[in-house]
Amino acid sequence: MENTRINELEKIAAEVRKDIVRMVGLARSGLIELPLLISDVLVYLYWEEMLLLAGSPSRKDRDRFVFGAEDGVPALYAILARRGYYEREQLWHYMRLGAMLQALPDFRRIPGIDAPLVTSGTELAIASGLACSLRKEGLGSRVFCFLEEKDCLGKDFMLEAEMCAGYGLDNITLISVCKDKAGTDPGSYPESMGRLKTYGWDIFETDGNDFGSMEKVFSEADCGSGRPAAVYAKVSNGRGLSFAGDDAPKIKMSMETMERALEELEGKTNG
Amino acid sequence: MDDRTRSCTWDVFCEHLASYAEDEDFILVVQDDIDLGPLNGLPKDKIFVSSPSDPNMILNAAGMALSGKRPWVAGRSSKMIARSYSQIRESLAIPSLPVRIAVADGGLSRGEDGASRTMTEDLSLMRGMPNMSVVVPSDSNSVKGITDAVRKANGPVYIRLGQTPVSQLDNDREGDFSLGGARLLREGTSVTVCTCGIMGHQALKAADILDQQGIDIEIVDCYSLKPFPEQTLLASVRRTGCCVVAEEHSYIGGLCSATAECLSGTYPVPVKFVAIEDRFVHSGAPEELREYFGLTWKEIVNAAAQAWALRRR
């Protein structure tokens, strides 16, 4: 990927992060840490990887995105607005009565949302049903399933992962995001990825804040191998806000915090 | 009633569903622990055997519905309803996806398996869920007619089937079945007896006894619990002035509640319930359990006599 393109994507991601802070701040409810952390990965997927057309959100041969990171919903909303699925104006009404952008995505009301977010199950099962059905129709569409790494350890998840491999669903790409912990060795997968590998998944690791690294990994993880793929993306706290890190993992935004956060993000954007 | 043609609603359902299999979009989502009868012979691409996780099975079906399919899901009520309630709610009912959930062991038909696997509150759970339609077929004709109607539904539907052999309730008529419909099994003027599932058969037995006492009951097979056939029920109750509701379910939240909700708001009359008390069941043969919990023609006779005595003259 050329440096100019990387710069463009970084600018988009910076604007997305500001939108996240504004929307969560105006809503005076909701969490910002995870949305800020995953914004780079989502920008890469929506601008570089997935086949989609914002003007035609129901196009049959589009790639599908199954989002399962409940706390990261504001990032998805900000991305869809920035990508042109709806006006950014909608973001400022997030979580309000009658607003299009409810706390969890309403599959029927929001353009660009391909699947409901199920808080009590594994979205991988929705993704596999979708992938199986799309494959049967002969469409080349891929299904991207986005989860937090902590949600990739349950029994139901593992049973589904084993089944995906059994059916050879190579049109599924699982993106498992994890906060980059200090001292983690590069190349060492967490337990969940290790188990997926034993089931027959292709496993990849990427820096979730480095667009060049993501491009390299996602091009290798393209479908056609006969095996589902999982991309383990480490995201860094430094990409978010200084006061939204480990010390305050789930801060809620007040107006003052919002102003402070926007100032900090503006400072980062301007170098 | 012709005892030579007794068959359980689950078997008829499987047989009838197999007739849809040639449909290009037909897909059945199951686990590998259920006896599908004639459906076992379906081509491989028509059956999706999910992982051995009940919630995942529901979510698989939701994923297929998201790509434009209208899948059927079949299994046991304790697995699909009890263990997967929140998945049904979040992935099917809230987005109103066209997934048809059929349970093979509704009511007491697998009573041997005990309280944990015998759900007598499934209708209540499903009926209370917005966007979900709920139907309970009672014989072969209604299984076929209701399955045809459910096939066209645009939202999620819960179909409660059973494994107790039953005869045909009305041999002469195939009838029109629809979501929100009901079937008049017997005309009468004294008491409206509203039933679903296996209790329609008990009501017909009760009718013969009540005839001898000069009570001429009208039996309405309310196979659609939601949407509820309000107009059919009201038309009958306006003639009779009282009502008995009989169902193989807890009296909370199922047909008893639906009937009481309808009548109390529009045309209040005396109503008596023949249903299971607010308690869990024991292990036992289905017929023994029905006797034990008072789900027989005898209780319908008593309830009808009481309701008839209470009605306004």
Q: Is B45 within 8 Å of chain A by CB?
A: yes
- Reported in sequence order, the residue ranges of chain A that DSSP labels E, i.e. its strands, are 64-67, 143-148, 172-179, 202-207, 229-235
Task: State the pLDDT at residue B93.
Answer: 96
Kindly report the nearest CA distance between residue A260 and chain B, in angstroms. Answer: 36
Enter the tokens of residue B167: 């005869």
Q: Is A101 helix (H, G, I), strand (E, B) or coil?
A: coil
Percent above pLDDT 90 for chain A: 60
- Reported in sequence order, the residue ranges of B216-294 that DSSP labels E, i.e. its strands, are 217-221, 224-226, 243-250, 271-276
pLDDT band at A249; cut points 50, 70, 90: very low
> Into how many domains does chain A fold?
1
pLDDT band at A30; cut points 50, 70, 90: confident
Distance CA A48, CA B177 (A): 51
pLDDT mean over B208-236: 96
Q: What is the mean pLDDT of chain A?
A: 88
What ipTM was reported for this prediction?
0.91
Mutation choice for B interface testing from A63, A108, A126, A147 by most B CBs within 10 A: A126
Q: Can you give the residue ranges of every domain in chain B?
A: 2-168, 183-309
pLDDT mean over A133-144: 91
Distance CA B163, CA B110 (A): 7
pLDDT band at A264; cut points 50, 70, 90: confident
What does the pLDDT look like over A159-207, one tens digit per residue?
A: 999 999 999 999 999 999 988 755 456 556 788 888 999 999 999 999 9
Choose the weakest-confidence range: A230-239, B101-110, B176-185: A230-239
Kindly report the nearest CA distance between residue A151 and chain B, in angstroms. Answer: 14
Residues in chain B: 313
Amino acid at A39: S
Kindly report the nearest CA distance between residue B96 and chain A, in angstroms. Answer: 9
Distance CA B294, CA B301 (A): 11
What does the pLDDT look like over B11-53, one tens digit per residue?
A: 999 999 998 888 878 899 998 888 888 888 888 889 999 999 9
What does the pLDDT look like over B181-198, one tens digit per residue?
A: 999 999 999 999 999 999
Q: Has residue B171 got a pLDDT over 60? A: yes
Q: Has residue A233 got a pLDDT over 50? A: yes
Mutation choice for A interface testing from B24, B25, B50, B53 by most A CBs within 10 A: B53
Distance CA B123, CA B110 (A): 16
pLDDT band at A119; cut points 50, 70, 90: confident
Kindly report the nearest CA distance between residue B88 and chain A, in angstroms. Answer: 10
Choose the weakest-confidence range: A60-69, A172-181, B167-176, B245-254: B167-176
Q: Do B184 and B159 contact (CB within 8 A), yes or no?
A: no
Q: Do B55 and A159 touch (CB under 8 A)?
A: no
b/e per residue, A119-144, with b = 16+ CB within 10 A? eebbbbbbbbbbbbbbbbeeeebbbb
Helix axes A211-220, A3-27, angle to 10 degrees: 100
Domain range spanning residue A213?
3-270
Distance CA A9, CA B302 (A): 76
What does the pLDDT look like over B103-143, one tens digit per residue?
A: 999 999 888 888 888 999 999 999 999 999 999 999 999 99
pLDDT band at A250; cut points 50, 70, 90: low
Amino acid at A179: K
Distance CA A237, CA A249 (A): 10
Give the fold, CATH level 3, of B2-168.
Answer: Rossmann fold (3.40.50)
Q: Do A116 and B62 touch (CB under 8 A)?
A: yes
Q: Do A118 and B27 touch (CB under 8 A)?
A: no
Domains B2-168 and B183-309 share a fold: yes
Q: Has residue A88 got a pLDDT over 50? A: yes
Q: Do A106 and B96 touch (CB under 8 A)?
A: no
Kindly report the nearest CA distance between residue A147 and chain B, in angstroms. Answer: 15
pLDDT band at B1; cut points 50, 70, 90: very low
Q: Is A29 helix (H, G, I), strand (E, B) or coil?
A: coil
Residues in chain A: 271
Task: State the pLDDT at residue B21.
Answer: 85
With respect to CATH, is domain B183-309 assigned 3.30.420.10? Answer: no
Task: State the pLDDT at residue B200.
Answer: 94
Identify which of A13, A70, A2 has the alpha carbon closest to the alpha carbon of residue A236.
Answer: A13
Q: Which of B60, B94, B96 sits opposite A129 (nearest CB)?
A: B60
Kindly report the nearest CA distance between residue B60 and chain A, in angstroms. Answer: 4
Kindly report the nearest CA distance between residue A150 and chain B, in angstroms. Answer: 18
- A·B CB contacts under 8 A: 108
Q: Do A73 and A35 contact (CB within 8 A), yes or no?
A: yes
Q: Is B90 within 8 Å of chain A by CB?
A: yes
| Torsion sign, CA atoms A206, A212, A217, A223 | positive
> Which residues in chain A have Cβ-Cβ distances shorter than 8 Å to B26?
none
Q: Which of A120, A127, A156 sits opposite B90 (nearest CB)?
A: A120
What are the CA-CA distances from residue A92 to residues A28, A50, A77, A95 (Å)? 11, 26, 11, 9
> Which residues in chain A have Cβ-Cβ distances shorter than 8 Å to B91?
116, 118, 121, 126
Q: Please state the separation of Cα A201 from the chain's center in Å.
A: 20
**Can you give the CATH number for the domain in which A136 is found?**
3.40.50.970
| Torsion sign, CA atoms A210, A63, A230, A246 | positive
What is the C-alpha radius of gyration for chain A, rounded to an integer number of angstroms? 18
Amino acid at B194: C
What are the CA-CA distances from residue A46 to residues A20, A49, A221, B284 (Å)? 16, 6, 16, 57
Identify which of B87, B163, B75, B167 has the alpha carbon closest to the alpha carbon of residue B125.
Answer: B87
Task: State the pLDDT at residue A107.
Answer: 85
Closest chain B CA to residue A106: B95
What does the pLDDT look like over B75-95, one tens digit per residue?
A: 999 888 999 999 999 999 999
Task: State the pLDDT at residue B174.
Answer: 65
Identify which of B255, B309, B269 has the alpha carbon closest to the alpha carbon of residue B126.
Answer: B255
Q: Which of B57, B62, B67 sits opposite A134 (nearest CB)?
A: B67
For B92-141, give the DSSP string. IITTT---EEEESS-TTTTGGG-TTT--SSHHHHHHTSTT-EEE---SHH
> Which residues in chain B have Cβ-Cβ distances shorter than 8 Å to A122?
55-56, 59
Task: State the pLDDT at residue A247.
Answer: 47
Q: Has residue B58 got a pLDDT over 50? A: yes
Mutation choice for A interface testing from B25, B26, B59, B99 by most A CBs within 10 A: B59
Distance CA B199, CA B188 (A): 18
Distance CA B11, CA B47 (A): 17
Q: Do B233 and B263 contact (CB within 8 A), yes or no?
A: yes
Helix axes A33-44, A211-220, angle to 10 degrees: 60
